[in-house]
Amino acid sequence: IETGHRLLKLTPADASVYAHMAFASGQSGRWPQAISWYRKSLEIDPNQTMISFKLGEAYEMTNNAPAAMEAYRSVLKRVPNADHALVALAGVSLKAGKNDEAIKAYRELVKRQPRNALLYANLAVAYGNKGMTREEIEYGRKALALDPGNAVARFNLAAAYEKLKMDREAAREYRQVLKFNPNDEDAVKRLADLEFRSGRYESAAALYERVVRTSRDKALIHARLGIAYAELKRYGLAAE
């Protein structure tokens, strides 16, 4: 940055100097300054698609989703096949709750990258946010067909099954999550709830016992443990 200031005294209209200073500011965590210098670089030379992309990243780091989206769109106007910009646009749209734009971007991306599991997983999330559960399940399954070890996508698929009361399928997916991550408290609790509702009290009790010490829902879990123990005729534990 110091060298950049010295250079600008010699060549005050050098877009590349501003771009390098902006990058250095971002590397130092000074994102508002990075944004200012990226913008100055683009004022001098508006055709720098990579600088527009870096500006979008900087806006994301300051939680300015609308500005980030606009920066990524400007890249795509000049380079429609810039997958990195479309991925970034889809991601920031999803985070900002712009699910329709995210879906549009991800659907285009899966045409170009049909073996990319993460794209299908994110598309499933976007459909889930819109309450389109069957589409959420469809794309969640596609993600797992390509990447069976993606525990997050598997958890999301299980939760989608629950929305449609497909408890057996949901329980199957939660068990798979726990194979990859045995300490996933949310998966343990959700599986316990499914076992409890299905009357499988032995399994439910064992699962509730795993999370009762750390769960935020202690009262509810203790209550269900009491019912499960009573159904199992373990009355001392039920009373406790």
The helix/strand/coil state of 232 is coil
The helix/strand/coil state of 167 is helix
% of residues, the chain, pLDDT over 70: 100
Q: Is the pLDDT of residue 60 over 90?
A: yes
Stretch 129-150: mean pLDDT, rounded? Answer: 97
Do 70 and 102 meet the contact criterion of CB atoms below 8 Å apart?
no
Q: First and final CA of the chain: distance in angstroms?
A: 66
| Predicted pLDDT at 105 | 98
pLDDT digits (tens, 9 = 90+) for 178-223: 999 999 999 999 999 999 999 999 999 999 999 988 888 899 999 9
Lookup: tokens for 110: 């899966």
Q: Is the pLDDT of residue 176 over 90?
A: yes
Please provide the average confidence, as pLDDT, over all residues in the chain: 96
Residue with tokens 């316990």: 192
pLDDT digits (tens, 9 = 90+) for 112-135: 999 999 999 999 999 999 999 999
Do 71 and 53 meet the contact criterion of CB atoms below 8 Å apart?
yes
Residues 30-56 as b or e (16 or more Cβ within 10 Å = b):
bbebbbbbbebbbeeeeebbebbbbbb
